[in-house]
Amino acid sequence: MDTLTTRGRAARLLATVATGALLLAGTLWGVDDDFPFGPFRMYSTAPGSDEPAPDTRVEGVDTTGAVVSLTERSTGIRRAEIEGQMAAYEADPSRLRQVADAYVARNPAAAALVEVRIVIRYEGVRDSRPTRTHTDEVVAAWRP
């Protein structure tokens, strides 16, 4: 049997209580920025039962006129990361240049982009169920 020394126990007890206190404080007052002690707020918002659901996408138009979907795979930027910095993109659409740059860095052979835009598709919801109807809205667009 491996037993702990009194000091070993005390140190572990202290670490347990301190970590627990940080996590509890993070849950009550913290934000995501306090990672890893922020609140476990996955899916914690409460959209109304008839409130349309926003579905964000980023797309580009290349020199051939084709619409290219700018996803995590093609740019290295996750959709949730675009949404997390949405206010900054709306205030200054030229920030979309960084998405275009990231696309070029990962796809050097692809046709150049002449426009990059963030589109939100609002899917209809009724009684907390999707109605399978939608409307699109361009919230930020940038042309080089």
**Is residue 125 at the binding interface for another protein, with CB under 8 A as the rule?**
yes
DSSP state for residue 133 in the 8-state scheme: E
**Is residue 72 at the binding interface for another protein, with CB under 8 A as the rule?**
yes
CA 81 from chain center: how many Å?
A: 3
**Is residue 106 at the binding interface for another protein, with CB under 8 A as the rule?**
yes
Q: Phi first, then psi: give them for residue 40, nearest 5 degrees.
A: -80, 75
**Is residue 62 at the binding interface for another protein, with CB under 8 A as the rule?**
no
Q: Which of 60, 121, 128, 118 is nearest to 90 (CA)?
A: 118
Residues at the contact surface with another protein, assessed by CB under 8 A:
1-4, 8-9, 12-13, 16, 19-20, 23-24, 27-28, 32-36, 38-51, 53, 55, 72, 75-78, 80-85, 95, 98, 101-102, 105-106, 123, 125, 127-130
